[in-house]
Structure 1
Amino acid sequence: MRRTERYPVEGANSLWHIYRTVPFFKVMKNFIVIQLGRYSPSLPLKNFLYRRFLHMKVGEQTSFALMVMPDVMFPERITIGENSIVGYNTTILAHEYLIDEYRIGDVIIGNRVLIGANSTILPGVHIGDGAIVSAATLVHQDVPAGSFVGGNPMKIIYTAEEMAARRHIHQEKTS
Protein backbone atom coordinates (compact mmCIF):
# COMPACT_ATOMS: atom_id res chain seq x y z
CA MET A 1 0.00 0.00 0.00
CA ARG A 2 1.35 3.42 -0.92
CA ARG A 3 1.61 6.05 1.80
CA THR A 4 -0.22 9.13 0.52
CA GLU A 5 -2.12 11.98 2.09
CA ARG A 6 -5.49 12.47 0.38
CA TYR A 7 -7.07 15.87 -0.20
CA PRO A 8 -10.61 15.93 -1.63
CA VAL A 9 -11.69 18.79 -3.93
CA GLU A 10 -15.10 20.03 -5.02
CA GLY A 11 -16.19 21.35 -8.38
CA ALA A 12 -13.57 21.16 -11.12
CA ASN A 13 -10.98 18.36 -11.14
CA SER A 14 -8.09 18.58 -8.69
CA LEU A 15 -5.51 19.69 -11.26
CA TRP A 16 -7.67 22.69 -12.04
CA HIS A 17 -7.04 23.72 -8.41
CA ILE A 18 -3.25 23.31 -8.75
CA TYR A 19 -2.23 26.75 -7.53
CA ARG A 20 -4.32 26.35 -4.40
CA THR A 21 -2.13 23.34 -3.56
CA VAL A 22 1.29 24.68 -4.58
CA PRO A 23 2.42 28.27 -5.34
CA PHE A 24 2.84 29.19 -9.02
CA PHE A 25 6.33 30.64 -8.52
CA LYS A 26 7.50 27.50 -6.73
CA VAL A 27 6.38 25.39 -9.70
CA MET A 28 8.03 27.80 -12.15
CA LYS A 29 11.35 27.78 -10.23
CA ASN A 30 11.26 23.99 -9.86
CA PHE A 31 10.52 23.57 -13.56
CA ILE A 32 13.53 25.68 -14.55
CA VAL A 33 15.87 23.87 -12.13
CA ILE A 34 14.61 20.45 -13.25
CA GLN A 35 15.09 21.33 -16.92
CA LEU A 36 18.69 22.43 -16.20
CA GLY A 37 19.27 19.13 -14.39
CA ARG A 38 17.62 17.02 -17.09
CA TYR A 39 19.97 18.27 -19.79
CA SER A 40 23.16 18.69 -17.75
CA PRO A 41 25.79 15.99 -18.28
CA SER A 42 27.41 16.91 -14.93
CA LEU A 43 26.35 14.56 -12.13
CA PRO A 44 27.72 16.78 -9.32
CA LEU A 45 25.88 19.80 -10.77
CA LYS A 46 22.59 17.89 -10.87
CA ASN A 47 22.98 16.84 -7.23
CA PHE A 48 23.81 20.42 -6.23
CA LEU A 49 20.79 21.81 -8.08
CA TYR A 50 18.43 19.21 -6.63
CA ARG A 51 19.70 19.61 -3.07
CA ARG A 52 20.03 23.39 -3.05
CA PHE A 53 17.05 24.57 -5.07
CA LEU A 54 14.56 21.69 -4.90
CA HIS A 55 15.38 20.64 -1.32
CA MET A 56 15.55 16.98 -2.33
CA LYS A 57 17.56 14.71 -0.05
CA VAL A 58 20.20 13.19 -2.33
CA GLY A 59 22.96 10.92 -1.01
CA GLU A 60 26.61 11.14 -1.92
CA GLN A 61 27.65 9.65 -5.27
CA THR A 62 24.05 9.25 -6.41
CA SER A 63 23.75 9.56 -10.18
CA PHE A 64 20.85 10.96 -12.19
CA ALA A 65 21.02 10.04 -15.88
CA LEU A 66 19.96 12.46 -18.60
CA MET A 67 16.28 13.41 -18.76
CA VAL A 68 15.33 12.24 -15.24
CA MET A 69 12.16 14.08 -14.16
CA PRO A 70 11.80 14.64 -10.41
CA ASP A 71 8.41 15.83 -9.17
CA VAL A 72 7.90 19.47 -10.17
CA MET A 73 5.32 20.24 -7.47
CA PHE A 74 6.79 18.58 -4.37
CA PRO A 75 10.43 17.59 -5.04
CA GLU A 76 11.26 18.13 -1.36
CA ARG A 77 9.30 14.93 -0.66
CA ILE A 78 11.88 12.83 -2.55
CA THR A 79 14.76 11.13 -0.71
CA ILE A 80 17.44 9.10 -2.49
CA GLY A 81 20.21 7.33 -0.60
CA GLU A 82 23.91 7.06 -1.35
CA ASN A 83 25.50 5.57 -4.46
CA SER A 84 22.20 5.00 -6.28
CA ILE A 85 21.50 5.34 -10.00
CA VAL A 86 18.31 6.79 -11.47
CA GLY A 87 18.15 5.75 -15.14
CA TYR A 88 17.47 7.77 -18.26
CA ASN A 89 14.06 9.42 -18.57
CA THR A 90 12.79 8.12 -15.24
CA THR A 91 9.95 10.04 -13.57
CA ILE A 92 9.71 10.29 -9.78
CA LEU A 93 6.30 11.54 -8.64
CA ALA A 94 5.44 12.75 -5.15
CA HIS A 95 1.95 13.85 -6.17
CA GLU A 96 -0.99 12.69 -8.25
CA TYR A 97 -3.97 14.79 -9.27
CA LEU A 98 -7.20 12.84 -9.74
CA ILE A 99 -10.72 14.01 -10.56
CA ASP A 100 -12.10 14.34 -7.02
CA GLU A 101 -8.88 14.51 -4.99
CA TYR A 102 -5.16 14.93 -5.10
CA ARG A 103 -2.62 12.85 -3.21
CA ILE A 104 0.85 13.62 -1.94
CA GLY A 105 3.34 11.07 -0.62
CA ASP A 106 7.02 10.80 0.19
CA VAL A 107 9.20 8.76 -2.15
CA ILE A 108 12.11 7.12 -0.37
CA ILE A 109 14.78 5.37 -2.41
CA GLY A 110 17.49 3.55 -0.46
CA ASN A 111 21.25 3.21 -0.82
CA ARG A 112 22.84 1.39 -3.78
CA VAL A 113 19.54 1.23 -5.69
CA LEU A 114 19.49 0.88 -9.47
CA ILE A 115 16.45 2.24 -11.28
CA GLY A 116 16.34 1.34 -14.97
CA ALA A 117 15.57 3.76 -17.80
CA ASN A 118 12.03 4.95 -18.51
CA SER A 119 10.65 3.87 -15.14
CA THR A 120 7.92 5.74 -13.26
CA ILE A 121 7.84 5.85 -9.47
CA LEU A 122 4.50 6.78 -7.94
CA PRO A 123 4.01 8.82 -4.74
CA GLY A 124 4.22 7.13 -1.36
CA VAL A 125 6.58 4.35 -2.49
CA HIS A 126 9.65 3.14 -0.61
CA ILE A 127 12.42 1.31 -2.47
CA GLY A 128 14.72 -0.66 -0.16
CA ASP A 129 18.52 -0.65 -0.10
CA GLY A 130 20.20 -2.61 -2.86
CA ALA A 131 17.05 -3.07 -4.93
CA ILE A 132 17.11 -3.21 -8.73
CA VAL A 133 14.19 -1.81 -10.74
CA SER A 134 14.12 -3.03 -14.34
CA ALA A 135 13.76 -0.55 -17.21
CA ALA A 136 10.24 0.66 -18.05
CA THR A 137 8.81 -0.38 -14.68
CA LEU A 138 5.78 1.26 -13.07
CA VAL A 139 6.71 1.26 -9.36
CA HIS A 140 3.27 1.34 -7.74
CA GLN A 141 4.13 -0.35 -4.45
CA ASP A 142 7.08 -0.74 -2.10
CA VAL A 143 10.15 -2.60 -3.32
CA PRO A 144 11.78 -4.86 -0.72
CA ALA A 145 15.50 -4.34 -0.04
CA GLY A 146 17.78 -6.37 -2.28
CA SER A 147 15.05 -7.52 -4.64
CA PHE A 148 14.86 -7.32 -8.42
CA VAL A 149 11.53 -5.99 -9.75
CA GLY A 150 10.09 -5.11 -13.13
CA GLY A 151 7.07 -4.74 -15.34
CA ASN A 152 3.86 -2.81 -15.61
CA PRO A 153 2.43 -3.35 -13.12
CA MET A 154 5.57 -4.04 -11.15
CA LYS A 155 6.18 -7.58 -9.91
CA ILE A 156 8.97 -9.08 -7.84
CA ILE A 157 11.16 -11.07 -10.23
CA TYR A 158 13.72 -12.19 -7.62
CA THR A 159 13.69 -11.72 -3.86
CA ALA A 160 16.85 -10.66 -2.04
CA GLU A 161 17.51 -14.29 -1.12
CA GLU A 162 17.10 -15.46 -4.71
CA MET A 163 19.39 -12.66 -5.92
CA ALA A 164 22.06 -13.70 -3.39
CA ALA A 165 21.79 -17.34 -4.52
CA ARG A 166 22.14 -16.27 -8.19
CA ARG A 167 25.25 -14.22 -7.36
CA HIS A 168 26.74 -17.18 -5.49
CA ILE A 169 26.15 -19.54 -8.44
CA HIS A 170 27.61 -17.00 -10.87
CA GLN A 171 30.73 -16.58 -8.70
CA GLU A 172 31.22 -20.34 -8.57
CA LYS A 173 30.99 -20.59 -12.36
CA THR A 174 33.55 -17.83 -12.93
CA SER A 175 36.01 -19.13 -10.32
Structure 2
Amino acid sequence: MGLWDFVKEAGKSVFGEAEAAEPKMQPAPTAGAAPAPAPQAAPQAAPQAPAHDADTQRKLDALNAEVKAIGLDASKVRLYLTGDMVRIENKGADRETMEKLILAVGNIKGIAKVEADLPPAPAGAAAQPVFHTVQKGETLSAIAKHHLGDANRYREIFEANRPMLSDPDKIYPGQSLRIPVK
Protein backbone atom coordinates (compact mmCIF):
# COMPACT_ATOMS: atom_id res chain seq x y z
CA MET A 1 0.00 0.00 0.00
CA GLY A 2 1.43 3.36 -0.98
CA LEU A 3 0.79 6.57 0.93
CA TRP A 4 0.98 9.99 -0.72
CA ASP A 5 0.95 13.37 1.03
CA PHE A 6 -0.93 16.38 -0.30
CA VAL A 7 -1.29 20.01 0.74
CA LYS A 8 -4.49 19.90 2.81
CA GLU A 9 -5.23 23.62 2.45
CA ALA A 10 -4.82 23.63 -1.36
CA GLY A 11 -7.18 22.33 -3.97
CA LYS A 12 -10.74 22.45 -5.10
CA SER A 13 -13.27 22.95 -2.34
CA VAL A 14 -15.94 20.27 -2.66
CA PHE A 15 -16.78 19.79 1.02
CA GLY A 16 -18.06 23.31 1.73
CA GLU A 17 -17.04 24.98 4.98
CA ALA A 18 -16.42 21.82 7.01
CA GLU A 19 -13.02 20.15 7.15
CA ALA A 20 -12.53 16.38 6.74
CA ALA A 21 -14.70 14.05 8.79
CA GLU A 22 -13.95 12.54 12.17
CA PRO A 23 -11.75 9.45 12.01
CA LYS A 24 -14.25 6.79 10.91
CA MET A 25 -13.40 4.54 7.99
CA GLN A 26 -16.47 4.43 5.78
CA PRO A 27 -16.92 3.07 2.25
CA ALA A 28 -18.40 5.31 -0.40
CA PRO A 29 -21.13 3.89 -2.56
CA THR A 30 -19.80 3.00 -6.00
CA ALA A 31 -21.24 5.15 -8.76
CA GLY A 32 -24.09 3.32 -10.47
CA ALA A 33 -24.13 0.48 -7.98
CA ALA A 34 -27.28 -0.60 -6.25
CA PRO A 35 -27.39 0.19 -2.54
CA ALA A 36 -26.32 -2.65 -0.30
CA PRO A 37 -29.18 -4.57 1.25
CA ALA A 38 -29.97 -3.77 4.86
CA PRO A 39 -28.20 -6.12 7.23
CA GLN A 40 -30.42 -8.78 8.73
CA ALA A 41 -30.45 -9.07 12.48
CA ALA A 42 -29.18 -12.47 13.50
CA PRO A 43 -29.51 -13.92 16.94
CA GLN A 44 -26.26 -13.73 18.87
CA ALA A 45 -24.70 -11.60 16.07
CA ALA A 46 -21.37 -9.91 16.67
CA PRO A 47 -21.58 -6.16 17.38
CA GLN A 48 -21.63 -4.15 14.15
CA ALA A 49 -19.48 -1.13 13.34
CA PRO A 50 -21.20 2.21 13.92
CA ALA A 51 -23.21 3.53 10.99
CA HIS A 52 -21.87 6.36 8.80
CA ASP A 53 -22.21 9.71 10.34
CA ALA A 54 -24.02 12.14 8.03
CA ASP A 55 -20.98 14.41 7.55
CA THR A 56 -18.71 11.53 6.51
CA GLN A 57 -21.29 10.27 4.03
CA ARG A 58 -21.76 13.78 2.63
CA LYS A 59 -18.02 14.08 2.06
CA LEU A 60 -17.77 10.63 0.46
CA ASP A 61 -20.62 11.58 -1.86
CA ALA A 62 -18.78 14.83 -2.72
CA LEU A 63 -15.56 12.89 -3.46
CA ASN A 64 -17.40 10.47 -5.74
CA ALA A 65 -19.24 13.33 -7.46
CA GLU A 66 -15.97 15.18 -8.12
CA VAL A 67 -14.31 12.07 -9.57
CA LYS A 68 -17.33 11.54 -11.81
CA ALA A 69 -17.48 15.24 -12.79
CA ILE A 70 -13.92 15.23 -14.11
CA GLY A 71 -14.61 12.07 -16.10
CA LEU A 72 -12.54 9.46 -14.28
CA ASP A 73 -13.83 5.89 -14.21
CA ALA A 74 -14.23 4.98 -10.54
CA SER A 75 -16.32 1.87 -11.20
CA LYS A 76 -13.43 -0.40 -10.20
CA VAL A 77 -12.48 1.34 -6.96
CA ARG A 78 -14.00 2.10 -3.60
CA LEU A 79 -13.19 5.22 -1.58
CA TYR A 80 -12.93 5.29 2.21
CA LEU A 81 -12.56 8.42 4.33
CA THR A 82 -10.85 8.69 7.71
CA GLY A 83 -10.30 12.23 8.91
CA ASP A 84 -8.23 13.96 6.23
CA MET A 85 -7.07 10.68 4.62
CA VAL A 86 -8.70 8.82 1.73
CA ARG A 87 -8.01 5.16 1.05
CA ILE A 88 -8.65 3.96 -2.47
CA GLU A 89 -9.36 0.25 -2.64
CA ASN A 90 -8.57 -1.07 -6.11
CA LYS A 91 -11.08 -3.55 -7.52
CA GLY A 92 -9.41 -3.94 -10.93
CA ALA A 93 -8.59 -0.42 -12.16
CA ASP A 94 -5.46 -0.02 -14.30
CA ARG A 95 -2.35 1.78 -13.08
CA GLU A 96 -2.91 5.02 -15.02
CA THR A 97 -6.47 5.31 -13.73
CA MET A 98 -5.30 4.67 -10.16
CA GLU A 99 -2.57 7.34 -10.41
CA LYS A 100 -5.11 9.86 -11.74
CA LEU A 101 -7.59 8.96 -9.01
CA ILE A 102 -4.89 9.45 -6.35
CA LEU A 103 -4.25 12.95 -7.71
CA ALA A 104 -7.89 13.84 -8.27
CA VAL A 105 -8.79 12.95 -4.68
CA GLY A 106 -5.57 14.31 -3.15
CA ASN A 107 -6.01 17.68 -4.86
CA ILE A 108 -9.26 18.30 -2.99
CA LYS A 109 -9.12 20.88 -0.22
CA GLY A 110 -9.26 19.11 3.15
CA ILE A 111 -7.47 15.93 2.00
CA ALA A 112 -3.92 15.53 3.32
CA LYS A 113 -3.13 11.90 2.47
CA VAL A 114 -4.20 9.26 -0.03
CA GLU A 115 -3.46 5.58 0.47
CA ALA A 116 -3.79 3.11 -2.41
CA ASP A 117 -2.42 -0.08 -3.90
CA LEU A 118 -1.20 0.41 -7.45
CA PRO A 119 -1.12 -2.39 -10.00
CA PRO A 120 2.43 -3.45 -10.88
CA ALA A 121 4.38 -1.02 -13.07
CA PRO A 122 5.01 -2.08 -16.67
CA ALA A 123 8.49 -3.42 -17.41
CA GLY A 124 11.03 -0.60 -17.49
CA ALA A 125 8.77 1.88 -15.67
CA ALA A 126 9.36 3.30 -12.20
CA ALA A 127 7.80 1.26 -9.38
CA GLN A 128 6.29 4.40 -7.81
CA PRO A 129 4.70 7.20 -9.81
CA VAL A 130 6.45 10.55 -9.87
CA PHE A 131 4.29 13.35 -8.49
CA HIS A 132 5.30 17.01 -8.28
CA THR A 133 3.82 19.61 -5.92
CA VAL A 134 3.48 22.96 -7.70
CA GLN A 135 5.32 25.83 -6.01
CA LYS A 136 4.37 29.50 -6.28
CA GLY A 137 5.45 30.94 -9.64
CA GLU A 138 6.01 27.58 -11.34
CA THR A 139 4.73 26.82 -14.82
CA LEU A 140 4.31 23.51 -16.61
CA SER A 141 7.31 24.48 -18.76
CA ALA A 142 9.51 24.96 -15.69
CA ILE A 143 8.30 21.66 -14.24
CA ALA A 144 8.98 19.92 -17.57
CA LYS A 145 12.48 21.40 -17.68
CA HIS A 146 13.16 20.15 -14.12
CA HIS A 147 11.71 16.63 -14.48
CA LEU A 148 11.96 15.88 -18.20
CA GLY A 149 14.97 18.00 -19.15
CA ASP A 150 13.12 20.06 -21.76
CA ALA A 151 10.67 22.91 -21.14
CA ASN A 152 8.95 22.18 -24.46
CA ARG A 153 7.76 18.83 -23.07
CA TYR A 154 5.21 20.60 -20.82
CA ARG A 155 2.43 19.16 -22.99
CA GLU A 156 3.36 15.64 -21.83
CA ILE A 157 2.74 16.69 -18.23
CA PHE A 158 -0.50 18.38 -19.25
CA GLU A 159 -1.72 15.23 -21.04
CA ALA A 160 -0.68 12.99 -18.12
CA ASN A 161 -2.93 15.07 -15.86
CA ARG A 162 -6.02 15.18 -18.05
CA PRO A 163 -8.90 15.33 -17.25
CA MET A 164 -7.94 17.03 -13.94
CA LEU A 165 -6.26 19.84 -15.91
CA SER A 166 -8.32 21.63 -18.53
CA ASP A 167 -5.70 24.24 -19.47
CA PRO A 168 -1.87 24.14 -19.21
CA ASP A 169 -1.90 27.64 -17.71
CA LYS A 170 -4.30 26.74 -14.89
CA ILE A 171 -2.14 25.20 -12.20
CA TYR A 172 -1.88 26.47 -8.64
CA PRO A 173 0.55 26.29 -5.71
CA GLY A 174 0.04 23.17 -3.64
CA GLN A 175 -1.45 21.18 -6.52
CA SER A 176 0.13 17.80 -7.18
CA LEU A 177 0.80 16.76 -10.75
CA ARG A 178 1.63 13.39 -12.27
CA ILE A 179 4.94 13.41 -14.15
CA PRO A 180 5.07 10.93 -17.03
CA VAL A 181 8.03 8.61 -16.78
CA LYS A 182 9.04 6.99 -20.04
Instruction: Indicate whether the TM-score tops 0.5.
Output: no
Larger RCO: 1 or 2 (CA < 8 Å, sep 6+): 2
More strand by share: 1
More helix by share: 1
Q: TM-score range by the shorter chain?
A: under 0.3
When normalised by structure 1's length, the TM-score is: 0.28
